[in-house]
Amino acid sequence: MKAITLEQAANLLFENDNFLVLMHKSPDGDAVGSAYALCMVLRSMGKKANPLCGDEIPPMYDYFTRYVEPQDFEPQYIVSVDLASVGLLSGKAKDYADKVNLCIDHHGSNTGFAEYGYIDGKISSCAEIIKSLFDVMKIDIDKNVANAVFTGICTDTGCFKYSAVSPQTHRVAADLMEAGAESADICHLMFDSKSRAKLELERMVLETLEFSEQGQIAFICISQEAMEKSGAVQCDTDGIASIPRQIEGVKIGITMKEKEGGEFRFSVRTADDIDASEICKRFGGGGHKAAAGCSIHKEQTAAKEEMLKACKAALNGAE
Amino acid sequence: MKAITLEQAANLLFENDNFLVLMHKSPDGDAVGSAYALCMVLRSMGKKANPLCGDEIPPMYDYFTRYVEPQDFEPQYIVSVDLASVGLLSGKAKDYADKVNLCIDHHGSNTGFAEYGYIDGKISSCAEIIKSLFDVMKIDIDKNVANAVFTGICTDTGCFKYSAVSPQTHRVAADLMEAGAESADICHLMFDSKSRAKLELERMVLETLEFSEQGQIAFICISQEAMEKSGAVQCDTDGIASIPRQIEGVKIGITMKEKEGGEFRFSVRTADDIDASEICKRFGGGGHKAAAGCSIHKEQTAAKEEMLKACKAALNGAE
């Protein structure tokens, strides 16, 4: 992959047409916000552009996704946003794994799968990079684009809480609000709004809370049974992974989620320089230093024990 | 009270000395952050200044309060911050109820108890006004002042979530970070960190959750028993009041907290133009449109019923 500047990335977008913008599986606010914002802007320039994700786009993002109806064209230029590796593509998006022309990402761990890449691991969110790209392109964004970008930034920063938030992140948020971003409504929807089913799910999941290593590791489990009993849907599990790490004294928070087919999906959140992405890499996963994920295809107890063992090793600074 | 400009408020601070800066009872991040920031800046100008609150300052704010040791002097100029009415003063601060020279506040409902007042009900937090005041005074703030102001802004906006957040709020946050505010650490401490006791308290309080008016009103109760059983302390109840309103479909969220001496303290959070401060005013309380509080001195069931009745009336737009 050839590393390029934002100006060069802008030129590639100006010069090409018939874009497909790829998102990772289980798309989050940053992936959806970045991809839809980019497609809206490309369309406003008279180009054709479709977002593509192998998984369903969560309906909670409908307030900006509804403005991007699918267009009919033969894809010519493939862009990926917020995609650290092609292993995170699913479904139809996989067909383009070795055809990505331009990769825009904020994961320092990006595997460099594209022809050209603009990667900055220090930026809060891919959406913040996308906004800088629009500035370089001298694009005046409208309310829907502003909402999409704002969604990406606020969801990937836990609403401006995380350490990747810079003064520039806040200034971008201010600019987005002036461009029409409905900040309070978006924040309410993303962070301060939960269904009764989600509340019930959280209550059930909290009953599984376990501590180890003198309270330094906290573990919770989201079982299929809890999902069914609570009536929760997939996106109701958002945010639950941050609960164990929030408990005082906890340095590693583990959330194990039972998927279909004997797969267990883990989210690992860490404090104090413990590298969550290193822990998850052992199991073929990845992510950021303080928040990463992976899957383990084993029986429940074995999967849990393997993860706990890896976390204890990381906690004690030993392999 | 004579309404003055920020420039006039700045001049009053320049011209006077031996300041006492009053905070309301049960001081929150905005009261503490505003008062301590102002005292630190006045002291940096060679003046004497003490913050004064009738209640204990929660130890969680120690990362900036520890830089303000009490000074020995006879108070000559009384300033109040984030204080909507003198009825919210407690303990020793009450002695100054009719002696407030300058009131700086962001409550539109401010009762005008001071000689001079700078009140702007549209600003996110009193701390945001305090920062504008420092700008007018051309004060370069240090890290501790930046941390205090940042704390005020982030706590009063639910971490930049609420509708009072403006583009300017985000720009002030950016400036504060550049002045040294430890944004991520503060946000983690204020929002993403809870004791096991607090987690246990939340679990117990969720068991009291009740809905009325077809799910439009949600009610929870923090009993003395739950406080004792969970081992929670006073500040562990912070944030709990926002839980009922977060549930989908809820327009009025009520949190009833049992205090000593047969007093029940209510926090009311509202959506959709329902005025929480109007509801609480009936019981001698007040606050903002979407978040207000009051006390009812009655037996538990009667107190709850009175509040529910008032909320139902507000919901149905009738008296």
Between chains, do B194 and A162 touch, taking CB under 8 Å as contact? no
Residues A17, A34 within the same domain = yes
- Are B20 and B127 members of one domain? yes
Q: Where is pLDDT greater, at B49 or A260? A: B49
pLDDT at A290: 86
User: Residue A63 — very low, low, confident or very high, per pLDDT cuts 50/70/90?
Assistant: very high
Collect all residues of chain A within an 8 Å Cβ-Cβ radius of residue B184: 161-163, 165
Instruction: Give A319's pLDDT tier (boundaries 50, 70, 90).
Output: very low
Of B163, B171, B196, the CB nearest to A247: B196
Domain termination site, one of A170, A191, A212 = A191
pLDDT of residue A261: 80
B26 shares its domain with B174: yes
- Least confident range of A229-243, A261-275, B39-53, B104-118: A229-243
Q: Determine whether the interchain pair A171/B171 forms a contact, defined as Cβ–Cβ distance below 8 Å.
A: yes
Same domain assignment for residues A19 and A164: yes
C-alpha–C-alpha distance, residues A295 and A268, integer Å = 11
Chain B residues touching residue A158 (CB < 8 angstroms): 187, 192
- Same domain membership, residue B206 and residue B181: no
Q: Which residues contact A114 (CB under 8 A, 6 or more apart)?
A: A1, A80, A100, A101, A102, A103
The position carrying tokens 């590796």 is A85
**Are residues A221 and A156 both part of a single domain?**
no
Closest residue on chain A to B176 (Cα): A167
pLDDT at residue A315, as a whole number:
93
- Looking at B135, B163, B191, the residue that finishes a domain is B191
- Given an 8 Å threshold on Cβ–Cβ distance, is B174 in contact with A194? no
Boundaries of domain holding B148: 2-191
Q: Is A132's pLDDT higher than 50?
A: yes
Q: Is B14 on the interface with A (CB under 8 A)?
A: no
B21 and B51 Cβ atoms separated by less than 8 Å? yes
Q: Which tens digits make up the pLDDT trace of A5-37?
A: 999 999 999 999 999 999 999 899 999 999 999
Segment B41-76, tens digit of pLDDT: 999 999 999 999 999 999 999 999 999 999 999 999
The confidence band for B94, taking pLDDT boundaries of 50, 70 and 90, is very high
**Each residue of B263-302: pLDDT tens digit?**
999 999 998 889 999 999 999 998 888 889 999 999 999 9
Could you tell me if A255 and A168 lie in one domain? no
Q: For residue A248, what is the nearest residue in chain B, using CA coordinates?
A: B195
Q: Which of B165, B177, B184 sits opposite A162 (nearest CB)?
A: B184
CA distance B314 to A40: 42
CA–CA gap between residue B307 and residue B219 (Å, rounded): 10
On whether both B150 and B224 belong to a single domain, the answer is: no
Looking at the fold, whether B294 and B183 belong to one and the same domain comes out as: no
Mean pLDDT lowest among A53-67, A124-138, A189-203: A189-203
Q: What is the DSSP string of chain B?
A: -EE--HHHHHHHHHH--SEEEE--SS--HHHHHHHHHHHHHHHHTT--EEEE-SSPPPGGGHHHHTT---------EEEEES-S-GGG--GGGGGGTT---EEEE--TT----SSEEEE-TTSS-HHHHHHHHHHHTTPPP-HHHHHHHHHHHHHHTTTTTSTT--HHHHHHHHHHHHTT--HHHHHHHHHS-B-HHHHHHHHHHHTT-EEETTTTEEEEEE-HHHHHHHT--GGGGTTGGGTGGGBTT-SEEEEEEE-TTS-EEEEEEE-TT--HHHHHHTTT-EE-SSEEEEEE-S-HHHHHHHHHHHHHHHHTT--
Q: What would the DSSP string read from start to end of B265-294? A: EEEEEE-TT--HHHHHHTTT-EE-SSEEEE
Whole-structure pTM value = 0.87
Same domain, B133 and B108: yes
Is the pLDDT reported for residue B235 higher than 80? no
Enter the ipTM: 0.87
Residue A124 gets which letter from DSSP?
S
Regarding whether B289 and B167 lie in a shared domain, the answer is no
Candidate from B161, B209, B215 with C-beta closest to A191: B161
Q: Which of A153, A157, A160, A207 to mutate to test the interface with B (most CBs of B within 10 A)?
A: A160
Phi, psi of B90 (to 5 degrees): -135, 165
CATH code of the domain containing A55: 3.90.1640.10
Residue that is written with structure tokens 């930026």 in the block:
A123
Given a cut of 90, whether residue B207 has pLDDT beyond it is: no
What's the rounded mean pLDDT across residues A104-112? 94
Q: State how many domains chain A has.
A: 2
Residues A99 and A214 in one domain: no
CATH code of A296's domain: 3.10.310.30
Q: Are A223 and A188 in contact (CB under 8 A)?
A: no
Could you say which of A160, A177, A194 has the minimum Cβ distance to residue B246?
A194
pLDDT tens-digit series, residues A270-315: 988 899 999 999 999 888 888 899 999 999 999 999 999 999 999 9
